[in-house]
Amino acid sequence: MTSIGTTGLVFNEPLLWELGAKGRCGFSLPRPDVPAADADKDLAGEGPDFPDLSEPEVVRHYTRLSQWNFGVDSGMYPLGSCTMKYNPKTNERQASLPGFAGAHPLLPDSMAQGILRLMHELQEALAEITGLPAVTLQPAAGAHGELTGMLIFYAYHKSKGKPRSKILIPDTAHGTNPASASLCGYKSIPLASNEEGVIDPAAVAELMDEDTAGIMVTNPNTLGLFEKNIREVAETVHSRGGLVYADGANMNAVMGIVDVSQLGVDVLHLNLHKTFSTPHGGGGPGAGPVCVTKELEPFLPVPRVVQKDQGYALADDFPQSIGRLHAFHGNVAILVRAYSYILSMGPLLKQVSRYAVLNANYIKERLKDVYHLPYDQPCMHECVFTDKNLHAHKVSTLDVAKRLIDYGFHPPTIYFPLVVSGAIMIEPTESETRQTLDGFIGAMRAIAAEAAENRQLLLDAPVNAKVRRLDETLAARKPCLSG
C-alpha cells in the first residue's frame, strides 16, 4: 500500500537563544507617554534574558515547532476512550465573538445577559440530550465532573442521616473513577465484568450492602460494549438505598439515542471536550458538566444559572448545595463552543452517534481476521484488539503503535483497558470517511504482515519520525526535567 507517512521536510529547530543576533527586534514598542525612569537594580535585578530575534525568526520558530505536532486537524486521531473528534471551525468563530471573548467574569448579571442566556440554554440542551433534568456547567473536566458526582453522592446520603463509605467500580470503568471516589473518602470496591465484558447483576447484588453509596458505571464501557444489564443493576442498587453514577465520557456512541434517565442513572457527567467537539488535549481547558435527577438537584454546586422575570442570573441560594467547585463559572469559552456544536447539529446529533458506531464496527470487522478480537460481538464507538496473534513473531502492541507512525497515522490507545492484555483500542469517531478508514485498516494489515515477514521493521519503528523510538523505561527512571 502507499503510505501517507513520509520523511518530507523535517525541520530541526534550535533554542530561541541560539537564534538571532544582538540588536534584532521583531516588534516596536509604542512611544512612551511618561518620563523614562531607571529601575532599582537591587529590586529588579538584571532583567530577563530575552533573545534578540527578527519577526521572521519568531514566526518561523513557532511554525516549525507546530509542524512537529500531530493533531486532529492533521489526520485521523483514533484514540479509544478519549474521543479525539474533529473540532468544527464554526465553534471557534462563535467563541471568538467580542461579546463572549471579552466578557469579564466579574460583570454584573445585568451586563452579562447574553452569556448567561447561552449557559442556561446549554443546560437545557444537555438535559434534553441525556434525559436528566438538572445540570451544572461548572466542572472543568471529566474527572472534575466525577468529583462533583461523588460529592453529590456524599451530600445525598448525609441528608438521609446515614453517610456511606464504599463505591462499586467495575473493571471496565474509566481509570479516574476510583481516584475521584477516594478524594471523597470512599473506598473503591472492584467489580469484575463477566465473560461477555459487561457487568453481571448477580455480582452487584452480592456486593451492594447498606454501607455502599452506589456504583460508578462507564456506559458504553471501556471495551466499547454497551452495558446491557444496566437497568437490572440500577434496580438492585436503588433497592438498597444506593445511587447510580454514569461516566459519560463515551456518550458519543449514544448521544440523542439513549435516554440515560430510563437506564436508572442518577448522576452523569459529560465531557464537552470529547462528545461535543471542543478542543481536547494539551492540558485543557475542558468542561465536564454534570446532569442529575430532580431529586438530586438541590445538591448541585453554586452559583447556578437560573432564569428570572428580569432575565438570567447566577444564584447561590441553595442551602443543600455542595458549594463552589471552580473560580467564576468554569471554562466558559468551551461552553460556547459546545453550544455552537449542538445548535449546528440539532437532531443530527443522533446521526453522529450512528456514524461513530458504524465506523468502529467497520474497523472491527475488517481487522478481526489478523488481530485477536477478545470480544467478538457488535461494539459501540470503539473496538478493542490484542497482540495475541503477534506473539509467535515476538511482536508486541507497542511495536504496532510505533510502526503506525511510519504509515502516517497517530497510534490508537494501547494497553488499556487493563482487563485486556496487550490491548489495542481504536475509536475512529464519526468524522472520518471510508477512504480514511480504509487507509488506516490497510496500514494495520500491512503491519501485521510485516510482523511475520520482517519483524525488525517494527522493532526499529518509527524510522520516519522527527524522533526515533525512545527508551521509555529510562525516561521513567531518569527523567530529564531541565527543560
Predicted pLDDT of residue 1: 67
CATH code where residue 273 lies: 3.40.640.10
Confidence (pTM): 0.90
- Verify that 442 and 312 share a domain, yes or no: no
Which tens digits make up the pLDDT trace of 416-445? 999 999 999 999 999 999 999 999 999 999
Predicted pLDDT of residue 282: 61
Task: Tell me whether strands 311-315 and 304-308 are parallel, antiparallel or unpaired.
Answer: antiparallel
Q: Which of these three, 312, 347, 382, is where a domain ends?
A: 347
- Verify that 220 and 321 share a domain, yes or no: yes
Q: How many CB atoms lie within 10 A of CB 306?
A: 14
Q: Which residues of the chain have pLDDT under 70?
A: 1-2, 6-10, 44, 281-284, 482-483
Predicted pLDDT of residue 237: 98
For residue 92, what is its C-alpha cell? 471557534
Q: Is residue 285 reached through a cis peptide bond, with omega within 30 degrees of 0 on the bond before it? A: yes
Predicted pLDDT of residue 166: 97
Predicted pLDDT of residue 267: 98
Q: Provide the residue range defining the domain that includes 450.
A: 349-477
For residue 98, what is its C-alpha cell? 467580542
Which tens digits make up the pLDDT trace of 381-399? 999 999 999 999 999 999 9
Taking the C-alpha atoms of residue 17 and residue 163, their distance in angstroms, rounded to an integer, is 58
- Verify that 182 and 140 share a domain, yes or no: yes
- Verify that 380 and 247 share a domain, yes or no: no
Residues 6+ apart with CB under 8 A from 199: 170, 172, 191, 193, 217, 227, 229, 230, 233
Q: Establish if 5 belongs to a structural domain.
A: no
Predicted pLDDT of residue 281: 67
Q: How many CB atoms lie within 10 A of CB 22?
A: 6
Predicted pLDDT of residue 8: 63
Q: How would you label 465-476 residue by residue, b for 16+ Cβ within 10 Å and e otherwise?
A: beeeeeeeeeee
- Verify that 324 and 374 share a domain, yes or no: no
- Verify that 426 and 411 share a domain, yes or no: yes
CATH code where residue 432 lies: 3.90.1150.10
Predicted pLDDT of residue 54: 92
3-state helix, strand, coil in the chain (%, to 5): 40, 10, 50
For residue 146, what is its C-alpha cell? 466525577
Taking the C-alpha atoms of residue 409 and residue 441, their distance in angstroms, rounded to an integer, is 11
Predicted pLDDT of residue 316: 92
For residue 93, what is its C-alpha cell? 468563530
Number of domains in the chain: 2
